[in-house]
Every structure is written in structure tokens, then in C-alpha cells.
Amino acid sequence: MTEHAAHTAAAETHGETLDIVHHLTDLHSVELPFIGKISLEPLHFQLGGLDLSITKPVIMMWVAGIILTLCLLIAFRGGKLLHNKFAQLLEVYILFVRNEVVYPIMGEKDGRRMLPFFLTVFFFILSMNILGMVPYGATATGNVNVTAGMAIIAFLVIQGMGIAKNGFIGHFKALLPSGLPAFVVPIMIPVELVGMLAKPFALCIRLFANMVAGHAVILAFLGLIFMAKSYILAPLPLAGVIFISLLEVFIAHLQAFIFTILTTLFTNMTMHPGH
């Protein structure tokens, strides 16, 4: 237990309340082992009215990117997978994404071309999710802006691949099923447009809400310890926290998988309309 954690615990015991929301939205500082809290306020800057400060989720995204780059350095050399244990672990993930997610949905030809994008999405989300379970880490995907950014990229890829495959006019013509009676068309156009935008919106909200919900539940269980203030009752919430933490590791993988498979599915739907 570091000094800071002890201080936080003391403050929460005195205040009688555990401020869950504050913990989930504590953006302007990063905590490090042995060093303590580092304020990120100096990194505050604005660009044309947009607040583009470097906040905790941004730092965690950088960390995730650095970890992924290190993974590549450890596991690959000259475009070849090395034969160490870590490379084999990565191979399991990569083969899973390729053989269970991308190839069955898109087929081998298109799947091979799109595979790097889906692998990037999968590993980036996975590493960001897992960082939330590391001490001193935070889940960048627990911030709605991060997932919104991911969803916008997914939206651009989904629409862009449809346009690249079927042409600009063919892409938007394929939104309407052929053989539709003329009077339904004015109703169907807004419906299809809303559906087009709702898919990435749902991707964004799903990832964000799943990650926030898990962490809120962990904090709620920890809050029970401070509420009860009893050494006898403390192990019970602790067991709950351990269980939820293990569940969180599973959810981290599941959400990365679901984001990837849904993006694959939607991309395939725009690339091959009509079935």
C-alpha cells in the first residue's frame, strides 16, 4: 500500500462517501509507483476552441501503443515470427482473429487485404482494456472520447471499403434493397441513413459502457469495505473484487473480439451488399 493509496483510503473513510465518479473521470493526473501523483495540467492546450489537453487516457493510449510496438520487436524479425514463447502467444491471438473472425466472414481474398486493420483494432483495444487491470494503469477505452474515435475510424473504413469496392454510386444504391415499391423509398432512405450512423455509435457506446461498468462494480465492492469498517466483513467484498477482476480480464478480451467481429461484419456488409 503506497502513501497515496493510504491517503485516498483515509480521505474516503473520513468523508463517509466513496466518490466513484471522481475515480472514473480523474483525467488530469497520472500515478506512478514510488513517485506518486504527477499532474498533467502543464500539458493543457487548446486548438481553435477544441480542448486537446494530454490527459490520462491519452497517456494510456501511448502506453498501449508502445507495448504493442515492443511486442512486434520481441516477436518478429524481418517479417518472420520468431520461435520464442512470447511469439507463440501472439500467434495464438493472431490466428484466432484470422481464422475465427476475418476469414469466415470476409473470405480469404478480401480478408487477407483487410486483416492488418482488424488485427490493429483488436490488439489496440485489447491492450487498452488490459491496461485497466494493471496497477497504476487506467482503461483508455473507459473514456467515451477514445471509443468515439475508434468508432469514427471504423465508420470511415466501413463506408470507404464499400465505396472502393462498389463505386461511389453503387455503394449508396446498395443501401436500398432492389425491387422495392416506389412509395417505400422515401421512408427507407432516412431509415438506412440512421442505420448507417447507428452501427458505429453502438460500437462506441458498447465498448465504453462495458469498460466503465466493470470498473464501477469493482469500486462499488471496494466501497463496501470502507462502509462496513470491519476486519471481519472485509474478506467478503475482497472476494467479490477478485471475482469481478477476473471477469474484467475476460470482458477485456470479449469486447476487443466483439468490436473486431462487428467491424468485420459491417465492412463485409458494405463490400458485398445483397446477402
Partner 1 sequence: MVAFLGELTNTAYAYLSAGLGAGLVTIGAGLGIGRIAANAMDGIARQPEATAKIQTAMIISAALIEGIALLSAVICLLLNLKA
Interaction site with partner 1 (CB under 8 A)? 21, 100, 104, 202-203, 205-206, 208-210, 212-213, 254, 257-258, 261-262, 265
Compute the distance between CA of residue 215 and CA of residue 142 in angstroms, rounded to an integer.
9
Q: Rounded to the nearest whole angstrom, what is the least distance from the CB of residue 189 to partner 1 in the complex? A: 23
Q: How far is CA 97 from CA 90, 123, 140, in A?
A: 11, 10, 22
The one-character DSSP state at 1 is -
**Cα(173)–Cα(148) distance, integer angstroms:** 27
Indicate the SS3 state at residue 32: strand
- C-alpha distances out from residue 11 to 6, 8, 29, 224, 269, Å: 9, 5, 18, 15, 53
Residues facing residue 29 across a β-bridge: 39
Q: Say if residues 45 and 52 touch (Cβ distance below 8 Å).
A: yes
**51-54, long-range: CB < 8 A, 24+ apart:** 53/28
- What is the distance between the alpha carbons of residues 103 and 99, in angstroms, rounded to a whole number? 5
Of the pair 22, 85, the CB lying nearest partner 1 is at 22
Nearer to partner 1, 125 or 203 (CB): 203
Q: Which is nearer to partner 1, 54 or 224 (CB)?
A: 224
Q: Give the residue with the Cβ less far from partner 1, 121 or 262.
A: 262
Nearer to partner 1, 24 or 71 (CB): 24
Shortest distance, CB of residue 202 to partner 1, whole angstroms?
Answer: 4
- CB-count exposure of residue 128 (10 Å: 0-12, 13-18, 19+): buried
Q: Quote the least distance from Cβ 101 to partner 1, whole Å.
A: 8
Least CB distance to partner 1 at residue 10 (A)? 25
Minimum distance of partner 1 from residue 157's CB (angstroms): 18
Nearer CB in complex with partner 1: 172/257: 257
Considering the complex, state which of residue 118 and residue 208 has its C-beta at the smaller distance from partner 1. 208
Phi, psi (5° rounding) for residue 273? -70, 155
Least CB distance to partner 1 at residue 142 (A): 12
Residue 154 to residue 121: CA distance in whole angstroms: 9
Q: CB of 241: closest distance to partner 1 in angstroms? A: 21
Please tell me the distance from the alpha carbon of residue 102 to that of residue 98, in angstroms, as a whole number: 5
